[in-house]
Chain A
Amino acid sequence: MSGSTGCREAIALLEDWLKAELTPEVAEQVRAHFDRCRPCFRHAEFERRFLAELEAAGRGDRCPERLRAELLREIRGADPA
């Protein structure tokens, strides 16, 4: 990618950009496009917030203590030492 990034290019790279899977140089060009293009910014912002909500919704669960203790017992019960 060279020069300034167009809308189509920026949106095509949006998924990778949100996942931080672009090189720093390309990521910066995509960000620069969103900074100056209102419709693309809104699109990117919706996707970013959507992913943030999804992560927050799914990350609440923890392994129950009872299961953790049971697993620890089984692991140590198998210990030959």
Chain B
Amino acid sequence: MTEIGARTRDFETAVLPHLDLLYRVARRYTRDTPRAEDLVQETVLKALAHWDSFRPGSNARAWLLTILRNTFVSGYRKARREAVSLDPEALDRVSTRPEVAADPSGEFFARITDERILAAVEALPHDFREVVVLSDIEGMSYAEIAQVLGVPVGTVKSRLFRARQRLQAELLDYAVSMGWVRPRVAG
């Protein structure tokens, strides 16, 4: 290995530990493996080009995800003719969770598969999908997510709440349809 300069070394130290994260988030954003790889590559090269604007000691993970998100929104998403800006009315139309089905023996958790869960995540509208991915899969704080999305913490929380409701409704409906759990009878 040839010697590398301090700038490159610092960049590698800050960025390479986050490649798995960037790849996972890119897959959930694009819902397509080749496009996810392109998105990661473009993100890392943009980060390298703008490395001088990164403040040493600040949050590299949030910085990288902001670049990834901006790249996705400006390019990949438009290419798919998906809505680029958040439509609050569309999100408000999302149905809320039905009464949690009765699951006294834990059948739901015993039988639900990773594939089924990820399919339900990918079926969420983008703005819901991304808060679930960043919060509940990647473990980012409200503040970090607010930074990446450029929205107030309260927006992150309300979006996350509704996203989880929708995700649970989807998965519980499936569990009921499979006969794993009984729907709760009203009254």
Contact = CB atoms under 8 A, between A and B. Distances in A.
| A-B interaction | yes
A78 interface: yes
Interface in B20-56: 20, 22-24, 27-28, 37, 40-41, 44-45, 48
A75 B44 contact: yes
Contact of B4 (A57, A60, A63, A81): A81
B117 A61 contact: no
A58 B45 contact: no
Interface in B124-179: 132-133, 135-139, 141-142, 157, 160-161, 164, 167-168
Interface residues of B, number: 45
18 contacts: A15-B160, A16-B157, A50-B164, A51-B136, A57-B137, A58-B118, A62-B20, A64-B23, A67-B19, A67-B23, A67-B40, A68-B16, A75-B48, A76-B8, A78-B48, A79-B4, A80-B5, A81-B7
Interface of A: 15-16, 19, 21, 43, 46, 49-51, 53-64, 67-68, 70-72, 74-76, 78-81
